[in-house]
Amino acid sequence: MYSTGEYREFAGADSRFLYLVPSGGIFQLDELSGAVLDRFRTGAASAEQVVSDLLPRGFAPDDIAETVQELFELRALRDGKGFENIVQEPPADFPLQTLVMNVTNQCNLSCQYCYEFGADKVATPEGKAKFMDWETGRQTVDYLIRESGSRKNIHITFFGGETLMNFPLLKKIVGYARDETAKRGKTIDFSLTTNATLLSTAIIEFLSENDIGVTVSIDGPKATNDQFRVFPNGRGSYDIIVPKIRELIARHRSRPIVARVTLTTPDVDVLGIYKHLKHDLGFYEVGIAPVTTSPDRLYSIGERGMDKVLDQFRALSQEYLSFALKNQHHGFSNVSDTLSELHQGISKSHPCGAGLGLVGVGPSGDIAPCHRFVDSDIHKLGHISTGIDTARKADFLDRGNIGNKYDCQTCWARPLCAGGCHHEAFVRYGDTGHANLHYCDWIRDWTDICLGIYGTLADSNPRFLNQFADRKAQ
């Protein structure tokens, strides 16, 4: 006997599709496979019963039986035995690919929601280096190269605090890392995140000449940005950064410049923010994320607020779709990132690369699962001079594994979500391995929106999806 398996059905422009859980694959239903699945809505049945039920509709018996078998192999149908889980488990010796180098833990802004300095901070930087020195930077590069094993291409993301407060080190690291990787037949690329306050013509030229990807943290037009993104004296940063951003976008032509927005209030105008950053300032892409925080903070968006934000995300996503149908680029990177994961058929064992192909290294050389845990003693995985404590890393990864998140086992969104950000889980629940249950509705609604866009494009402009075959999240 067969019954319905684990999938999420969604509609394209004129086809029906299945999002297959937990494999993360997408399957387009034809008339027969749609009819077979519909048959199971009325209850379990044997293959023979399905054949006899569908014969009057003119399908050939062999075709019906084959389709039942195919849907079973795809796990859209299950038999009495159920299935073993098939998430993509990482190998034990996963080589390092990306290192986030926090070149300083100091910042010249004082954004109240900042996970690094705000009320929810996990960092314990007291007594540790504030700026990474050359020796630590050099050893960090050596560590990345050593731990990248047979990988040909590796990546450093410079981060802070405010990254550009330690620009002299960054500049030296770029030259050193290029030389050292070239000697070993590897290539390296770089990116950085900045609040843009310290950008200068010389820095912009360096970034452009060295193909360094730049993400700028900015929250929108002046009133929105200056609500939280302020200097220690309370003065907003918008007027300082905008001329610098304009120069960055005009002069840095070797990589697209991306804006990263943190939403802090439900009454925010997401479309207005996007339009300002994309059209008035000229960013290539804009990524938007609700603030990560405990629920009792002033800037927490809250459940009802998230519904409002989702409505605006939906509207902006529809604009994305209308652009995509005309083969035009739209810069709402949240959609592009999710389409990429859907197109690549990703089914995650862990929510992100933290502690797997990615680690964060702080100014002191301490290694953390990612940049958000840098300088936190309780999350320290090791030091670049001595390497990673394998037991601590195993504990972190074990907690974060989707297989150990009880609440997620029956959720159809788990191939992409895998329980959500370890850092957010720690801030909310005090455990990096806790499922982020406060945003399940958001994740599932958002995934539904993106499945709809995927299906419409698969039907109406499938070539548009090809660009997502190897895109990485921005």
Binding site for ligand SF4 (CB under 6 A): 351-352, 354, 370, 372, 405, 407-408, 411, 413-414, 417, 419-423, 435-437, 440, 443-444
Rank residues 67 and 157 by Cβ distance to ligand SF4 and give the closer one.
157
Rank residues 129 and 437 by Cβ distance to ligand SF4 and give the closer one.
437
Rank residues 244 and 423 by Cβ distance to ligand SF4 and give the closer one.
423
Rank residues 413 and 451 by Cβ distance to ligand SF4 and give the closer one.
413
Assigned token pair, 375: 């300088």
Give me the least distance between CB of 115 and ligand SF4, in Å please: 8
Give me the least distance between CB of 419 and ligand SF4, in Å please: 5
- Contact at 8 Å (CB) between 83 and 75? yes
Q: Is the peptide bond before 22 cis (omega within 30 degrees of 0)?
A: yes
Rank residues 32 and 103 by Cβ distance to ligand SF4 and give the closer one.
103
Rank residues 5 and 433 by Cβ distance to ligand SF4 and give the closer one.
433
Rank residues 324 and 421 by Cβ distance to ligand SF4 and give the closer one.
421
Rank residues 61 and 345 by Cβ distance to ligand SF4 and give the closer one.
345
Give me the least distance between CB of 267 and ligand SF4, in Å please: 25
- 167-183 and 134-147 are packed helices; what angle lies between their axes, rounded to 10 degrees? 30
Give me the least distance between CB of 374 and ligand SF4, in Å please: 10
Give the pairing of strands 98-102 and 358-361. parallel
CA pseudo-torsion sign 132, 212, 151, 348: positive
Distance CA 17, CA 200 (A): 50
User: What's the burial of 307, exposed, middle or buried (CB within 10 Å: 0-12/13-18/19+)?
Assistant: middle
Give me the least distance between CB of 401 and ligand SF4, in Å please: 12
Give me the least distance between CB of 179 and ligand SF4, in Å please: 28
Residue owning tokens 């200056």: 226
- Nearest-CA neighbor of 382 among 392, 372, 373? 392
Rank residues 24 and 221 by Cβ distance to ligand SF4 and give the closer one.
24
Rank residues 26 and 370 by Cβ distance to ligand SF4 and give the closer one.
370
Give me the least distance between CB of 438 and ligand SF4, in Å please: 9
Rank residues 12 and 360 by Cβ distance to ligand SF4 and give the closer one.
360
Give me the least distance between CB of 138 and ligand SF4, in Å please: 25
Give me the least distance between CB of 397 and ligand SF4, in Å please: 12
Q: How many residues are there in the chain?
A: 474
Give me the least distance between CB of 178 and ligand SF4, in Å please: 25
Rank residues 170 and 435 by Cβ distance to ligand SF4 and give the closer one.
435
Residue owning tokens 């299906």: 455
- Nearest-CA neighbor of 189 among 159, 162, 204, 210? 210
Give me the least distance between CB of 193 and ligand SF4, in Å please: 12
Give me the least distance between CB of 443 and ligand SF4, in Å please: 4
